[in-house]
């Protein structure tokens, strides 16, 4: 009863926000419409340097190498250069989109028409949160959604308080987060197939962890009838980078599986692994299974496209089609609000053409709030 009341209260709180519109949480038993998802094709890549400067080079690109057996994931912890949690702004991705538009224009193509045809621009992490929302039972999220022309720009919204909270993590949690990054160092090298040999470090150590540095790929894809541009970090490539996504590799760590409970937990986690990689067209995920104290035990490579089959039919199974259908409805819902706003709400007070243009140019930002097991609400 408490739970139902709690949910009703939350829903009421959402509904009282001014100019609200809401979209209910999808029912797991509802029939799912198959929504198509186009194989992502790469537009460009870029790097963040140690000074966290975005440059249109592949300076941060790393190559996959097998990690040494029993690698110590605690290695180098005290030297970790940590990029603080930030507000997840979309600026870097917007710069990449503009860069691509300029490149088109340099080849005498119509960059504006191209951009106008894009329905959604988003970081991959945000799209993953949206698509996996039907199975999210714990963490809510908030987005800022901006509409420019007919393109929606999605950006995560973190309140100042939430940001402080995210940066103030318990030491053991910080240590565990480091395991994931140190696995990336053990699994990557500055050259294909040859582990780095760095002075004063064990063989195979790819260099001290600096979370400022990232290599990112921006891809174009299509969900149903909506063209999307999605950007995200790619951990490394296998052998060579030819400009395609086919050699991309995602690295993940997870606790060693000791019994059915662990297996179930891992298979639930695969939902996020799957969409994170699927959205950028990353075909391979290398998982390092580690002990609780941070020793690498085994590694296993998964083909991204085969992951849904591993969980199908199990009691805790998730269905990627339900996620895509939900994602499609989510985007359609936001588009309909945007169009309605364009014609009714934001006419502004001006009655001459110039004033009307200025009204239209005012940046409208929608706040989208997702509550697990409730749904999303939107307010201007």
Residue 208 as a binder of Mg ion (CB under 5 A): the answer is: no
C-beta closer to Mg ion: residue 136 or 233: 233
User: Is 49 a residue that touches ligand A3P (CB under 6 A)?
Assistant: no
Nearer to ligand A3P, 168 or 354 (CB): 168
Q: Is 235 in the site for Mg ion (CB under 5 A)?
A: yes
- For residue 39, which of 246, 216, 329, 271 has the smallest C-alpha distance? 246
Write the binding mask 244 to 263 for ligand A3P: x where contact by CB under 6 A, - elsewhere.
Answer: --------xx----------
118 or 237: CB nearest ligand A3P: 237
Residues 172-191 that bind ligand A3P (CB under 6 A): 177, 180-181, 183
φ, ψ dihedrals at 185, nearest 5°: -70, -40
Given 196, 210, 235, 325, the residue binding ligand A3P (CB under 6 A): 235
140 lies in the site for ligand A3P, by CB under 6 A: no
Tell me the CA end-to-end span of the chain in Å, nearest whole number: 33
Q: Which is nearer to ligand A3P, 92 or 180 (CB)?
A: 180
**Residue of 72, 142, 208, 233 that binds Mg ion (CB under 5 A):** 233
- Residue 252 is encoded by which pair of tokens? 């993940």
Is 251 near Mg ion (CB under 5 A)?
A: yes
In the bound complex, which residue of the shown chain has the CB atom lying closest to ligand A3P? Answer: 180
For 204-239, give one letter per residue: b (16+ CB within 10 A) or e: bbbbbbbbebbbbbbbbbbbbebbbbbbbbbbbbbe
Return the one option of ligand A3P, Mg ion, none that residue 177 interacts with (CB less than 5 to 8 A, by type). Answer: ligand A3P
DSSP states of 257-326? P-SHHHHHHHHHHHHHHHHHHHTTT--EEEEEEE-TTSBEEEEEEEEGGGHHHHHTTSTT---HHHHHHH
- Answer whether 57's CB lies under 8 Å from 214's CB: no
371 conformational bin, left if phi > 0, alpha if psi -120 to 50, beta if neither: beta
Nearer CB in complex with Mg ion: 270/322: 270
Binding site for Mg ion (CB under 5 A): 233, 235, 251
Positions touching ligand A3P (CB under 6 A) are 177, 180-181, 183, 233, 235, 252-253
């Amino acid at each position: 009863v408490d739970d139902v009341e709690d949910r009703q209260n939350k829903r009421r709180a959402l509904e009282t926000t001014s100019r609200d519109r809401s979209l209910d949480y999808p029912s797991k038993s509802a029939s799912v419409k198959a929504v198509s998802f186009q194989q992502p094709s790469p537009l460009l890549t870029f790097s963040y340097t140690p000074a966290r400067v975005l440059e249109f080079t592949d300076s941060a690109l790393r190559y996959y190498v097998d990690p040494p057996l029993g690698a110590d994931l605690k290695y180098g912890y005290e030297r970790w250069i940590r990029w603080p949690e930030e507000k997840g702004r979309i600026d870097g991705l917007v710069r990449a989109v503009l860069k691509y538009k300029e490149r088109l224009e340099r080849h005498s193509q119509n960059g504006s028409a191209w951009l106008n045809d894009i329905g959604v621009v988003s970081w991959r992490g945000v799209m993953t949160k949206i698509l996996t929302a039907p199975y999210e039972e714990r963490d809510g999220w908030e987005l800022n959604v901006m509409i420019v022309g007919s393109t929606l720009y999605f950006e995560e919204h973190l309140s100042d308080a939430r940001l402080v909270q995210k940066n103030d993590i318990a030491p053991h949690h910080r240590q565990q987060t480091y395991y994931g990054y140190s696995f990336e160092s053990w699994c990557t090298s500055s050259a294909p197939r040859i582990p780095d040999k760095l002075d004063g470090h064990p063989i195979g150590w790819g260099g001290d962890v600096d979370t400022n540095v990232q290599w990112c790929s921006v891809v174009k894809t299509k969900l149903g009838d909506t063209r999307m541009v999605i950007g995200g970090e790619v951990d490394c490539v296998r052998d060579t980078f030819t400009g395609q996504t086919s050699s991309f590799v995602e690295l993940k760590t997870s606790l060693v599986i000791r019994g059915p409970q662990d297996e179930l937990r891992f298979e639930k986690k695969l939902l996020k692994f799957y969409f994170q990689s699927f959205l950028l067209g990353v075909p391979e995920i290398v998982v390092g299974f580690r002990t609780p104290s941070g020793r690498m035990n085994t590694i296993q490579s998964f083909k991204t496209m085969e992951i849904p089959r591993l969980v199908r039919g199990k009691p805790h199974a998730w269905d990627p089609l339900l996620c895509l259908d939900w994602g499609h409805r989510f985007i359609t819902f936001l588009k309909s609000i945007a169009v309605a706003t364009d014609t009714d709400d934001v006419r502004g007070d001006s009655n001459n053409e110039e004033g009307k243009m200025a009204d239209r140019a005012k940046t409208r930002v929608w706040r989208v709030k997702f509550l697990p097991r409730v749904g999303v609400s939107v307010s201007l």
